[in-house]
Structure 1
Amino acid sequence: MTFDHFKIALLQPNDSVAFFNLIENNRERLEDFFAGTVTKNKTLEESIVYCKQIQKRIEAKTYFPYMITDLNTNTIIGLIDVKNIDWNVPKAELGAFIDANFESNGIVTKAGELVINHIIEIYAFKKLLCRANHRNKGSIAVILKLGFELEGTIRRDYKTTKGEIVDLNYYGRIF
């Protein structure tokens, strides 16, 4: 999938260095809302192992990490992941982040639209959801632009890297 000068594709085993660099360059701003990913990618060696493990999850259809690549520099600049998949409904959760240098340019919104259309067409999900802390104004703006509606707030639902347990707003979209 492409738009403007960006490509969206599933994480590949040879993306581990670029993936580590993306995490490392944005670690501080990601650690509260992507605690698991940040924790598992503290070193390049850990990222190599992580990317190999992710390939198994892609094959098992339990996780789909779509990388956003800037085609001008061939650099991975962001991620939209499809996680917490429940094939019984079928439904899944979306998460996303982008390198700080590319924020507020509409890239995640455009990439999100493409990923949503793709996974609805390929996997026939009936519901998608997004979770966001009320402090994460940028993510909430993207979630709303993508057509999700607030379904409610789950209190004390997520533990950040720093150990804080926070409330999360749940947003859903039905297909």
Structure 2
Amino acid sequence: MATQEMLFAGFGGQGILSMAKFLAYAGMDANMSVSWLPSYGPEMRGGTANCSVILTDDSVGSPIVITPDSLIVMNRPSLDKFEDTIKKNGLLIMDCDLVTRDPQRTDVEILKIPAQTEATKLGSPKIANMVLLGALVAKTKIVDMEVLLGALKAHGKEKFYELNKTALEVGASYVK
């Protein structure tokens, strides 16, 4: 498996850091080398937040992701800021409920997922991040979905496990 560099971006409070963290835990559980590097403004909730994750069978040379293989955005400012950084033939996953413009790139694969709508249907708009994470894992196969679910069970709150699992499955269904 090749190295995957991913960038997750949105507003603070959307679960940007936690979805990246669960993916990083899954990578560790799959015996991969992992880097998880959060970045957020001083205002946190409501301010900008992004997090880079690198998963590889090699060693991680630097935790800084400049040209991600995959970009997951949960708001328009994040698309505006990071769209041009995606590698050619990379992947852009966006919450089309909150990203209010179409991407300009034509050399990347784009998955538009109404994550807020799907999360609300499941009973909690707070799990939109997990819908997008489910799509990322299903599309890239960076880790096995079962490994991700194991990481979620081990490192998440037990009372949210079933809801998060369903959200991951809904996101994955956008890839099939």
TM-score category, normalised to shorter length? 0.3 to 0.5
Q: Larger relative CO (CA 8 A, sep 6+): 1 or 2? A: 2
TM-score, with normalisation over the residues of structure 1?
Answer: 0.33
Larger radius of gyration: 1
**Hey, which of these two has a bigger chunk of strand by percent?**
1
